[in-house]
Amino acid sequence: MNANPILLQKKYCRVIECFAKRVDISLDDALAFFYHSEVRNLMCEGISDMHCMSDEYLAEEMETEYRRALQQGEHGKK
C-alpha cells in the first residue's frame, strides 16, 4: 500500500519530533538520523504498512535503532 506523499511528509514530521523528544536531541540531529534510518526506508517503501503505525510506535522504533547505532559507534555520542 502506498501512502499519499503529502500525508507521508506530515507523518515524518510528527515522528521526527516525537523521536527527538524521546532521545533528547535537536530536531536537526533527529532529522539527519531519520533520513538514514531503516524505519524511514520501511515507511517510504510501504513495507508492512509501517506508515500506518502510530507516531509513538515509530518513534520508539527509531529510538531502538538510534540506541543500537550509538552502541556500535556509528553516529557519535549524544
What cell was used for 50? Answer: 509501517
Instruction: Please write the tens of the pLDDT for every residue from 12-71.
Output: 999 999 999 999 999 999 999 999 999 999 888 877 788 889 999 999 999 999 999 999
**Contact predicate 29/67, CB 8 Å:** no
Instruction: Kindly report the pTM of this predicted structure.
Output: 0.85
Rounded to whole angstroms, the Cα distance separating 48 from 29 reads 26
Q: Is the pLDDT of residue 3 over 90?
A: no
